[in-house]
């Protein structure tokens, strides 16, 4: 997706990530080897470096105010509300029915039809929402909550 087509929130995230990358390259920010929260090194990346993320704990308006967290802690601590929760739901009724029409469920396993991860992923990208949103839409769970009114 082009920067100009992004939602304001996604733009600020992108800008914040760029600012961190620039500061790391210039040495004004230094990525530690351990997580500030659990003090463990992150899982090894393929190049052998610890994978410690810069977590924007104050929000993207403070691009260089990051806490360095392992991916596990980052996942837990990120206060970023989901798009649905923050009132930025992008799915209207039409989109929901489109998703349901496009969705191809994976084969029934053990008598239960499970959402297909690949397809949910593809639809999430197509509709610009999280994969779990797609899963909830296709499983028909409380989707009304997701729909902007």
Positions touching Zn ion (CB under 5 A) are 35, 37-38, 70, 73
Nearest approach, Cβ of residue 33 and Zn ion (Å): 12
DSSP category for residue 79: -
Q: Tell me whether residue 40 or residue 86 sits nearer to Zn ion (CB atom).
A: 40
- Least distance from Zn ion to the Cβ atom of residue 67, Å: 10
Instruction: Pick the closer one to Zn ion by CB: 51 or 116.
Output: 51
Q: Where are the alpha helices (DSSP H) in the chain?
A: 8-26, 71-77, 93-102, 117-127, 131-139
The residue (of 41 and 128) whose beta carbon lies closer to Zn ion is: 41
- Least gap, CB of 39 to Zn ion (angstroms): 7
Neighbour count for residue 44 (Cβ, 10 Å): 10
C-alpha to C-alpha distances, 107 to 41, 102, 135, nearest whole angstrom: 39, 15, 15
């Amino acid at each position: 997706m082009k920067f100009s087509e992004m939602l304001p929130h996604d733009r600020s995230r992108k800008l914040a990530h760029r600012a961190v990358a620039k500061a790391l390259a210039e040495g004004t920010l230094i990525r530690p080897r351990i997580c500030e929260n659990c003090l463990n090194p992150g899982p090894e990346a393929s190049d052998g470096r610890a994978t410690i993320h810069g977590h924007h704990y104050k929000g993207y308006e403070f691009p260089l105010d990051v806490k360095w967290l392992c991916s596990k802690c980052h996942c837990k601590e990120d206060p970023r509300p989901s798009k649905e929760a923050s009132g930025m739901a992008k799915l209207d009724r039409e989109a929901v029915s489109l998703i349901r029409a496009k969705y191809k469920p994976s084969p029934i396993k053990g008598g239960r039809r499970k959402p297909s991860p690949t397809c949910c992923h593809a639809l999430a990208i197509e509709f610009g929402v999280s994969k779990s949103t797609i899963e909830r839409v296709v499983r028909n769970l409380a989707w009304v909550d997701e729909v902007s009114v």
